[in-house]
Amino acid sequence: KDNDRGDRASRSSCNSKATMIVVSNRLPFILKRDENGVLQRKASAGGLVTAVAPVVIRGQGNWVGWPGIHLEDPNEKIPESDPNDKTPTAGLRSEKIVPIRAEPKLFDSYYNGCCNGTFWPLFHSMPDRATFIADHWKAYIKINEEFAEKTVHALHLLNKQKKDKNGSPPIVWVHDYHLMLAANWIRQRAEEDEIKCKLAFFLHIPFPPWDIFRLFPWSDEVLQGILGCDMVGFHIEDYCLNFIDCCQRNLGCRVDRKNLLVELGDRTICVRPLPIGVPYERFVQLAQNAKPVFSTSQKVILGVDRLDYTKGLVHRLKAFERLLEKHPEHIEKVVLLQISVPSRTDVKEYQDLKEEMDQLVGRINGRFTTPNWSPIRYIYGCVGQDELAAFYRDAAVALVTPLRDGMNLVAKEFVACQINKPPGVLIVSPFAGAGEMMHEALICNPYELDDAAEVIHRALIMPEDERTVRMNHLRRREQLNDVDSWMKAFLKAMDSLEEEADDLGAT
């Protein structure tokens, strides 16, 4: 089944000339001012950007997003990329960038309030952490309107420039939980202005079950916003089915669970599992070239995450502590290296989590440290891609144990970098999208500390041949289903929309 997706993607007639407008909360680079106040682009090396940007550039499309800085002067131009910039977004000309210029207070209510204060915890099935505040929701509506307006403007420009009026219409691809209302407005305005386009939405985080989703007071509006699209993508089928369930129960839509279709009015919306991958070959190359980083004979258990409560970091440290209690033979033999990149640092919950982690690391180290050894090494910061690849390559075990996670790219990056023989072991939580498909990893429920400790123990003592067999399977799957194959699968799904829509009519 896994191979099937990879093969289908590479055989696909994937319309790589498609004109695409990507709409995402952030632009694919950050704008910063230098010491003279001149705007500069800071490139992003993320896998998604690497796969999507070339398609946007090839089709001379646009990217709509917030530039990471408040631009006061409405006429201030986005700079071109640095001539030495070799990243995939370098070819994205400034005239093709559509920046969102929002008033900072309003943007804060939208971003920190509604996106990160409400949707992030709720969609990760942690409703107790979610706040439901009408003003935040109003800000969310306003900012989504702004994104929609800018996108429609870009569509108008593309329409004017288009030489072949009968060619395939541009694809508008809206990303993630920040922009769940935009698509519907884009559709309505495009229809009024008689501009053709195909609309898609992709959610990078889980879509929760109905019983959680309906806690959101304006849940109908969210569904209607997403259903403005022709195609809605999620990482895995479970999220597709949750979404379909919500459409049926909230809005009374006719649905087809087998073919993953939803009917709203006279339109049929395709829902598709599109599991994202990583730039596999790039990570292999990085791993081949990176210098060794560990000067220790101890086995390294590695954790790499944004410092976020969904990633299960507190549970992970406690499970490691339990391992040292239950299996003291690992004392002085293993080290837990946890790398946590600072995230959403102006939000109180994230500041509290940092505090809790600092204390826990201190307590566990205080309890077990010997004159020659400390059990936990904790890096609070971002590490470069070369160093990261070396960590992944040389670790004996990777602990990817989120409490809930849309997919989780760290699990896949680790696997790509496992070029050493014999390889290491991946431990993954069943509550991450990655846990659904990386069958040869050891599965560990992060909530059950005793079991988690046992799984880590098992990984540490796993025979070489078992490690090799498991890792070979994992690597082959990730190589086939890398981020380019995801991009192709998306374009293929957009290509075949019409056929799929006919299916519901026939059932």
Contact residues: ligand ADQ, CB under 6 A: 204-205, 276, 304-306, 339, 341, 382-383, 388, 405-410, 413
| Identity of the residue, 62 or 408, whose beta carbon is nearer to ligand ADQ in the bound complex | 408
Nearer to ligand ADQ by C-beta: 116 or 268? 116
Q: Which helix (H) or strand (E) holds 335?
A: strand 334-341
Q: Please, what is the minimum distance in Å from the beta carbon of residue 400 to ligand ADQ?
A: 8
Min dist. Cβ of residue 411 to ligand ADQ (A) = 8
Query: CB 30 → ligand ADQ: shortest distance, Å?
Result: 15
Smallest gap, in angstroms, from Cβ of residue 85 to ligand ADQ? 20
Q: Between residues 169 and 275, which has the closer beta carbon with respect to ligand ADQ?
A: 275
For ligand ADQ, give the closer residue by CB, 19 or 116.
116
Q: How far is the CB of 392 from ligand ADQ (least distance, A)?
A: 9
At 498, give phi and psi (nearest 5°).
Answer: -60, -45
Distance in angstroms (rounded) separating the CA atoms of residues 452 and 322: 9
Closest CA to 53 of 163, 161, 173, 148: 173
Please, which residue, 197 or 415, has the CB nearer to ligand ADQ? Answer: 415
Exposure on the CB side of residue 428, measured as CA atoms within 13 A: 25
Alpha helices in 88-133 (DSSP H): 104-108, 120-123
Report the residue count for the chain: 507
Give the H or E element holding residue 230. none
Which C-beta is closer to ligand ADQ: that of 171 or that of 304? 304
Least separation, in Å, of the C-beta of 262 and ligand ADQ?
Answer: 22
Q: Alpha-carbon distance 400 to 387, whole Å?
A: 18
Q: How far apart are CA 170 and CA 22, in angstroms?
A: 11
Task: Please state the closest distance from residue 32 (CB atom) to ligand ADQ, in A.
Answer: 19
According to DSSP, the residues that pair with 32 across neighbouring strands are 40
Percent helix, strand, coil in the chain, to 5, is 50, 15, 35
Q: Tell me whether residue 169 or residue 206 sits nearer to ligand ADQ (CB atom).
A: 206
The residue type of 91 is G
Nearest to 124 by CA among 133, 134, 115: 115
Q: Toward ligand ADQ, which CB reaches closer, 255 or 388?
A: 388
| Minimum separation from the CB atom of position 288 to ligand ADQ (A) | 18
Structure tokens that stand for 310 in this block: 């969904």
Peptide bond into 127 cis (omega under 30): no
